[in-house]
A and B are shown apart, each in its own frame.
Chain A
């Protein structure tokens, strides 16, 4: 069974950074890209970017290029997203999602990590 396990809610101060893990299980980690998606309160989903754990390639939505960094650790089958210089605009639920094979859709999703930016 494919599972993407994300961490619990985060409360962070403005200007700080947060690193969100996404632990994958039930499949060969390096065989699939991992996408990250933002869902702000009352707003639609926004694609942040993706990482290829096989060759370390990353692709970012221009909107998030200066905000997010996507990394991974193959030894623990975990993908990470670090968000920096946080503001209230970054308050949202962040999802990791496994990329479908060959095409740009997401076939399995994590449960989401809530990030609240507040002093």
Chain B
């Protein structure tokens, strides 16, 4: 199984800042990594798939990059509604596996 190591597990930032979250796969997964946002009381939201493809309706301040084993989610100019949990998932092969999550909190 592909192991996904996500970092950092916790991040404190302020509105307007730019942050990055990383996921590293235990072997090459080509471009096939997705990013999700988790917020209390809401269903999980797909942000990005295939490494860098923005899901329909997701603001352009969210961007993804990377291929092979190293991937990054960047959120530019943080908005108040962006403070949430983020997790990644590889979608290269079965079984699908997830990163452990990053909690983005208000500084």
A105 pairs with B49, CB closer than 8 A: yes
B87 pairs with A104, CB closer than 8 A: no
Alpha-carbon separation in the docked complex, A61 to B44 (Å): 21
**Residues of A within 8 Å of B, CB-based: how many?**
23
**B-chain residues with CB within 8 Å of residue A100 when the two chains form the complex:** 46, 49
Q: Which residues on B are within 8 Å of A, measured CB to CB?
A: 32, 34, 36, 43-46, 49-50, 55, 87, 89, 91-101
Q: Which of A46, A63, A95, A105 contacts B34 (CB under 8 A)?
A: A105
A104 pairs with B91, CB closer than 8 A: yes
Alpha-carbon separation in the docked complex, A111 to B95 (Å): 22
A47 pairs with B44, CB closer than 8 A: no
Q: Which residues on A are within 8 Å of B, measured CB to CB?
A: 4, 35, 37, 44-47, 59, 61-63, 95, 97, 100, 103-111
Alpha-carbon separation in the docked complex, A110 to B43 (Å): 6
Alpha-carbon separation in the docked complex, A19 to B36 (Å): 26
B43 pairs with A109, CB closer than 8 A: yes
B92 pairs with A104, CB closer than 8 A: yes
